[in-house]
Amino acid sequence: MKNILLIATGGTIASAEDGNGLSPSLTGEQLAEAVPEIASLAHIGILQLMNIDSTNMRPRDWLRISSAIVEAYDAYDGFVVLHGTDTMAYTAAALSYLIQDSPKPIVLTGSQKPMCDSFTDAKLNLYQSLLYATDERSRDVVIVFNGAVIAGTRGRKQRTMSFNAFKSVNYPSIAYVRNDRIIRSGDALARAQGLAASNLAPTTTPRFFTTLDERVFVLKLTPGIDPSIFGLLESNYDAVILETFGIGGIPEYEGATSGSPSFRQAIFDWVDSGRTAVVTTQVPEEGLDLGVYEVGRAYADHPGILKGDDMTTEALVAKTMWARGQSSDPDEIKRLFYRPVNFDRLPPL
């Protein structure tokens, strides 16, 4: 049997009622003991790295999880990270950039109900995650949840209570787990083969990274928002991810204060100062195309503005932190940003 390291970080799966609401209290050992069937799948090591609600998960914690995997990488054949669902998609994306081209699977899972709940989804999610982690064809960072296997850069929590909490955004699920069998998605395989044909396929040698620039802000446009907000962000942030309207609409009006800049001027000034601006859409599906409408076209060809295209906001946050953590040079940041990692963005046709 393979050796799999179970890394416990807390979350709903480890939670119990303490009089003030659910909070993580069960250990990794207790969670493993609650699903004795996993002992037949692998030799399981257990690491209790932290025990927190994932609402409190920060980039420094992503680095702790990544470091724990790297330190144990040679001793294990795969890894299963037990994690809260609320920020799981962010952590999965971050691990995709911190540990790239991993020939060993790194699986994130959790549950919508605590392990101790009578009608929990925790047991099946843990079992299926171990099953996937022991499969010979499994690799890279994925989320395994409710039978779906989702690329680590494509996951998003879409439901707050239902067991099918996660979906794969703008990319097919990698596989499905059904009746103790792993069924690979034909569409995902075809796209993977297409990436291989364009020399973008993952290698067999993993690459590890240890730095992130946490100073990244997500700004969601709302009707009437004042462009002077960029001036308020300058002292605390190095990058802004701008969630635009529709397929890429950015308001053309100026700020409410006399002499304040328009959005166009504020964004261009932000980029000219050496900071990073990433433009994406707040619409969940189908992605960005700044060239369609007049309200977006001015940004389409600006060399300093990065386009999120079909990426999720969760992946954009993690990738921007990662890219800026590797370099402060705008050209190098741009190169890293546009290089596909773990199916985070499809190459141009």
Token readout for 334 is 């741009």
Q: Which class does domain 216-338 fall in? A: alpha beta
Task: Judge residue 305's burial from the number of C-beta atoms within 10 Å of its C-beta, 0-12 exposed, 13-18 middle, 19 or more buried.
Answer: buried
pLDDT at residue number 17: 86
Provide the total of helices (H) and of strands (E) in the chain, helices listed first. Answer: 10, 18
Domain boundaries, the chain: 2-208, 216-338
CB 245 within 8 A of CB 221: yes
Mean per-residue pLDDT over the chain, rounded: 92
Question: What is d(CA 323, CA 192) in angstroms, rounded to the nearest whole number?
Answer: 23
Predicted confidence (pLDDT) per residue in 94-151, tens digit: 999 999 999 999 999 999 999 999 999 999 999 999 999 999 999 999 999 999 999 9
Alpha helices in the chain (DSSP H): 28-33, 59-71, 88-98, 122-133, 186-197, 229-233, 263-272, 294-300, 313-326, 330-338
Nearest to 96 by CA among 206, 242, 260, 245: 206
CATH number of 2-208: 3.40.50.1170
Confidence band, pLDDT 50/70/90 cuts, at residue 254? confident
DSSP 341: -
pLDDT at residue number 187: 57
Predicted confidence (pLDDT) per residue in 294-319, tens digit: 788 888 888 889 999 999 999 999 99
Report, as residue numbers or ranges, the catalytic residues: 12
Predicted confidence (pLDDT) per residue in 78-96, tens digit: 999 999 999 999 999 999 9
CB 15 within 8 A of CB 27: no
Question: What is d(CA 37, CA 190) in angstroms, rounded to the nearest whole number?
Answer: 33
